[in-house]
Structure 1
C-alpha cells in the first residue's frame, strides 16, 4: 500500500521532470529505448503531425526489458512504428545503447554516418525522464537544440497504464537521483532543483522507493 504522502511526493517529482516544451518541427527525432512502448506511440503521433522526417529508435536491452523486449528496445519500437504506419525509410535503429548517454552518443554517430544534417532534435522519452534526458543530451551534444516530448498524461493515468505503482515510483526516484549526482560526474548539465522537490525525493528514499538508485561513491 502506497501512502498518501508518497503519492504527493511522487507528484512533485513527476511535475518537475516535465520540461513542458511545445513540440515543433525538428531535423530528426530520437526515441529513447525503455520498457514503455508508449514512447514509440508518441513518436508516431509526432511524425504524423509533421514534426520530423526521420527518427532514430535507440536502445539495447536491460534488466527491465530483456524479457518483454527480447529483440531489443529499439527494434521493438521500430516494429510498433511500422505497425502504426510509419514507413521503414523514416526509421533508423540504433541497437546497442544501454544508458541515456549512449542513446545520445550512438544516435549522433549513426546520423553522422548517414550524412544527416542535424540542427534540432525532438527528444522523445518516458514522461518521468524528460528532464534527465534533456540534461544529458545538452551536455553531450551542446551545439544542437533539443525539444523534449513524452506522453501527455497525468501521473495516475501513467501508473494505470504501466500497472505497477511501486515500479513507477522507484523509477521516478532513480531519475531524480541522477539529476542530483550526474552533473558532478560530467554526465549531464546541472538543473536547479526546488527545495520542495529535494524534500519529496528524500522522503521517498526514506520510504523505501530505492530499487533504481545507483551507488554513490
Structure 2
C-alpha cells in the first residue's frame, strides 16, 4: 500500500464485509445460452469468463464495455477489446466471442449486448452475467429491469474479501466502490434503471456508517 492510500480499521473492515457479501448473488454457475462479461477495471472478469467457457457452461459470450476515466489508461483500446484479447490468450476461440465496444454504463452493457446477440441471430432464454464480485447484485437488478424475459445467472471470481483487497492493493478505493454500488442498488430503482431489492438493516447501517467515515468517492448525487 502506498503512502497515498488509506488503510481501513477493523470496524470498517467488518462493515465492508457485510456489504461485500450482500453484493454477491450466491448463484450456482450452471449452463446458459450465452454469457456476458461486463467491462471494468478488473481483468479478472475476463479470466473468470474464460474459465466458465472452458467448463462448458455456454457456447457464445459477449464482452461489453468502452472506456471510463478509471479504465482509459489501463485499457486504451476499450474494456471489451482488452477483455477479448485476454480471453483469447486463455485459449477461448475468437469465434466464440462477440464484441460490444461502446457501452458506458451497466444499462448500456445490457441493452447493447442484447443488440449484438440479436445481430448474430441469437435470442437467449438464459444469460450468465460475469462481473466484479461486488457488482453482481447491481448487474442482476439492471438486467432484470431491462431484459425481464431472460433468466439471469450471476458469476464472478470466487474471491474472499481479503483476497480481493490484496488483488486491488487499495483498501480505501475498494470500500468506496462497495459503498457506491450499494447506493446504486438503493437509488436506481427510483430512476427506473433497475428492479428494487431489499437491503437488510445491518447492511444499510454499515453503508451509512462508512459514508460517515468518508468512503464517498464513488457516490452519485441523489
TM-score by length of 2: 0.96
Task: Tell me the alpha carbon deviations over residues 9-62 of structure 1, each in whole angstroms, 9 at most, x when there is no partner.
Answer: 100100001101001110100000000000000000000000000010000010
Unaligned runs of 5+ in 2: 1-6
Runs of 4+ off more than 2 Å: none
Deviation at 1:114, TM superposition (A): 1.1
Alpha-carbon distance in 2 for matches of 1:157, 1:163: 10
Deviation at 1:155, TM superposition (A): 0.4
Aligned to 2:165: 159
Alpha-carbon distance in 2 for matches of 1:44, 1:209: 33
Alpha-carbon distance in 2 for matches of 1:65, 1:24: 30
Unaligned runs of 5+ in 1: none
**Is it true that 1:48 corresponds to 2:51 in the alignment?**
no
Q: 1:59 pairs with 30, 48, 65, which one?
A: 65
Q: 2:77 pairs with 71, 82, 87, which one?
A: 71
Alpha-carbon distance in 2 for matches of 1:2, 1:91: 39
Deviation at 1:164, TM superposition (A): 1.2
Alpha-carbon distance in 2 for matches of 1:76, 1:163: 21
Aligned to 2:4: none
In the TM superposition, what are the counterparts of 1:1-217 in structure 2 within 5 Å? 1-216=7-222
TM-score by length of 1: 0.99
For these two proteins, the number of residue pairs brought into alignment is 216
Alpha-carbon distance in 1 for matches of 2:114, 2:123: 10
Aligned with 1:182: secondary structure?
A: helix
Alpha-carbon distance in 2 for matches of 1:83, 1:164: 27
Deviation at 1:117, TM superposition (A): 2.3
| CA-atom RMSD in angstroms | 0.6
